[in-house]
Chain A
Amino acid sequence: MKLTRKEVQHIALLARLGLSEEEIEKFRIQLSNILENFEILKQLNTTDVPPTAQSIALQNILRQDETKPSYPAEDILANAPQREGNCFKVRAVLE
């Protein structure tokens, strides 16, 4: 499984992860090698095997829909890189 530069850039775009030129090349090689190691799974027949998302067989947990006090807005906004009033400030989504 050899990744191309284009594929690496495509994955980075999906993850919204900026990469330098050197990182694109480094990850192209390293990820190709790691993916090669995953080929081993093809040896196993998994037809009719259900997938496991987590190891304990818990069903959906339900609770009463009761209102409870939340954290104070001031506490939550204390880590905000940019704020305006009681809101997180973001850049324009639509130009």
Chain B
Amino acid sequence: MNDLHQLTISRAHKLLKEKKISSVELTKACLEHLGSVEKKVQACVSTCEDVALTQAKAADKAIGSGKIKPLTGIPALIKDVICTKGIKTTCSSKILANFIPPYDATVIEKLKKDNVVILGKANMDEFAMGSSTENSAFFPTRNPWDLDRVPGGSSGGSAAGMAVDEAIYALGSDTGGSIRQPAGFCSVVGLKPTYGRVSRYGLVAFASSLDQIGPVTKDVTDCALVLNVIAGHDPQDSTSVTNPVPDYTKSLNSDIKGMKIGIPKEYFVEGMQPEVRAGIEAAIKKLQELGAKIDREVSLPLTRYALAVYYIIAPSEASANLARYDGVKYGYSYQDTSNMWEAMEKTKQFGFGAEVKRRIMLGTYALSAGYYDAYYLKAQKVRTLIIREFKDAFEKYDALVTPTSPTVPFKLGEKVDDPIQMYLSDVCTLPINIAGLPAISVPAGFVDGLPFGMQIIGKPFDEETILHIAYAYEQATDWHKKKPSI
């Protein structure tokens, strides 16, 4: 078999368990394929062949002694914002270009316990700030469905890598849509768990009250399999909850008869691409055919305030989090001065890219004396109102369904000079982070060969229902089986 890289986790696991393939074979197949497509797609900041093969051998040994878990021996790409001990973790930033973490993020520790294989670190917008992966300080990742277009962001490398089968699955992070929007743009599955479901320890902090790590996979089954491993309480992250972790694969049931699904009309925004609107309508019709009770008369009027709330809260938290890059403990450090302040200022000036600087400025302003009440405190209060509005909606519905993005992927360079237009591409995803809810994007169709996704939003800690609906939809459609020709 020389198409092993195309496998999903569940199929690869079956073959590994039956000893029809080895993890080393699977890893080599992925690495070889990655090498052949990476020049075009540029999904990885770095690859770690030696580590991968060592881990694959260890996995084969574990499997040989009967110790096999669903992810054992299965190669993954890890977004380069998640710390990997001994493997460079750059956040696609010059300031961390040579940073080698002395520890593993908790999610990596959990994966390693199950003997996973890490192939490489996926490209992203610098510090996860962006919606196109063009803010990577190294190079932009390209959308495999059209190399002149963006893969979305910030987890663009994870999503593009999945679309072209560079690995079997990937991890991303999502602060305002950074898993779901690229998953939609690349026609793969991406899930942002409820805030607190997955430990953030070792996830380089962007906006601490919004960030979550989640799976980027080729299908919904794999999404549940990865979530099973990474979810759970972690004493190292005091915002991770102690709720027991269910077996998410038990939610993979194609019967959604009687499920109550609301369609909030505010997510069908002005300026939405008509073909995407029609495509999402068709997807909703499919859910209806499958027996779900669809209510289109749902209104979440506060949705229009979410963008402003997000772009006050996220940069405010970012400005505090990124103050740590002072050139003293790690990272790029401006040396050509004896003055402490000058060294600190120049370290940031030369180490950070434009979007990161923009957000540090915005956040510093919103938190500064005289403006705190008008911006940061006001945004936190509106955040309360948005959470209440979702809570009320979930009294009546099991889940909400929306487009993942208002358009198909846009062209490289199209929005780089217009931050507000760029921010608007996350208009359907960022309210979910403000409220801390779980949401998944699944492939839902194409417009002239360019993909779009459907977003399914759930109640807090009810990943099971959104996986259930996503699975039922996936079983009834073929979108996830389509692959870009590259």
Q: Which residues of A contact B (CB under 8 A)?
A: 8, 11-12, 14-20, 23, 27, 30-31, 33-35, 37-38, 40-41, 44, 46, 49-56, 58, 61, 63, 71, 75-76, 78-82, 88, 90-93
Query: Does the CB pair A46–B195 fall under 8 Å?
Result: no
A17 and B364 CA atoms in complex are apart in Å by 10
Query: Does the CB pair A51–B380 fall under 8 Å?
Result: yes
Top 5 nearest A-B pairs (CB, nearest first) are A55-B436, A18-B349, A51-B380, A81-B333, A79-B330
B364-387 with Cβ < 8 A to chain A: 364-365, 368, 375, 377-385, 387
Identify which of B98, B239, B345 contacts A54 (C-beta below 8 A): B239
Q: Which residues of B contact A (CB under 8 A)?
A: 98-100, 102-103, 194-196, 208-209, 235, 238-239, 241, 302, 304-305, 307-309, 311-312, 319, 323, 326-333, 335, 337-346, 348-350, 352, 354, 357-358, 360-362, 364-365, 368, 375, 377-385, 387, 419-420, 434-437, 460
Q: If the complex has contacts A56-B239, A58-B196, A78-B100, are A91 and B345 also in contact, measured as CB distance less than 8 A?
A: no
Query: Does the CB pair A71–B102 fall under 8 Å?
Result: yes
Query: Does the CB pair B195–A31 fall under 8 Å?
Result: no
A51 and B362 CA atoms in complex are apart in Å by 20
Query: Does the CB pair B364–A15 fall under 8 Å?
Result: yes
Query: Does the CB pair B328–A49 fall under 8 Å?
Result: no
Query: Does the CB pair B357–A54 fall under 8 Å?
Result: no
Which residues from chain B contact A90 at a C-beta distance below 8 Å?
328, 340
A47 and B368 CA atoms in complex are apart in Å by 22
Identify which of A27, A38, A92 contacts B312 (C-beta below 8 A): A38
CB-based nearest A residue for B461 = A56
Identify which of A23, A53, A61 contacts B209 (C-beta below 8 A): A53
Query: Does the CB pair A30–B358 fall under 8 Å?
Result: yes
Which residues from chain A contact B381 at a C-beta distance below 8 Å?
46, 49-52
CB-based nearest B residue for A43 = B305
Which residues from chain B contact A91 at a C-beta distance below 8 Å?
337-340, 343
